[in-house]
Amino acid sequence: MSESEVISYNKSVIYAAEKFAKVIKEYMKIVHKKHNIPINHNEYIILEEIVFNPGITQGDLARSLSIQRTYVSKILSSLEDREYITREQEKKSKQIIAVKSYATDKGKEIHKQSRNILVQEANELFSEKEKEELDGVSHILFKQIEKITKIYNIKF
C-alpha cells in the first residue's frame, strides 16, 4: 500500500463506527427527553434485556451489553427502586449463587411505550433503504467484533 493509499484515522471505518455510536447515544438522549420517557437510554437497554431474558443475572447483563458490572448494578438498583424490575436471590443452602432480574408489569409497560417511541423515531429518521444498509453494516460489525474478541481473548 503506497503512502497515497493510506487512509487517515478520521476517514477509517473504526472512526466512523465510534462517531456513529456517539452520535446515536446523543440522539437517544434527545429522544428520551423530547418524549418525556421516564427512563434514560442505558436504563432502557438494560430493561429490554430483562424483558426479553427474564431471570438474567447482573453478570450476564454486563457481558451481553459490554458494560461494567458495577454500572449495571447501579442501573438495576434504580430500576428496582422505581418498581420496573424485581430481583430474586437464588440460594444453594445458605449461600447466594445468583441474583436474577425480572421485569414487573409496570416495567414491561414502560418498556413497551419506550420501544414504540424509539421505533417511531427510527422510522422517521431512516428511509427503508437506509435501514437495510444499516442492517448490513451492523451484520459486518458484529462479525468483526466476534472475530477480534476471539483472536485477542477480549472479555467484557
Give the model confidence (pLDDT) of 82-120 as tens digits. Answer: 999 999 998 877 787 889 999 999 999 999 999 999 999
Q: How far apart are CA 85 and CA 115, in angstroms?
A: 17
Three-class DSSP category at 135 = helix
pTM metric for this prediction: 0.86
Residue 3's pLDDT is 63
pLDDT < 50 stretches in the chain: none
Q: How far apart are CA 119 and CA 112, in angstroms?
A: 10
Query: String of b and e for 1-16 (b: at least 16 CB within 10 Å)?
Result: eeeeeeeeeeeeeeee
Q: How far apart are CA 6 and CA 112, in angstroms?
A: 46
Residue 2's pLDDT is 64
Residue 108's pLDDT is 98
Distance of CA 30 to the CA centre of its chain: 17
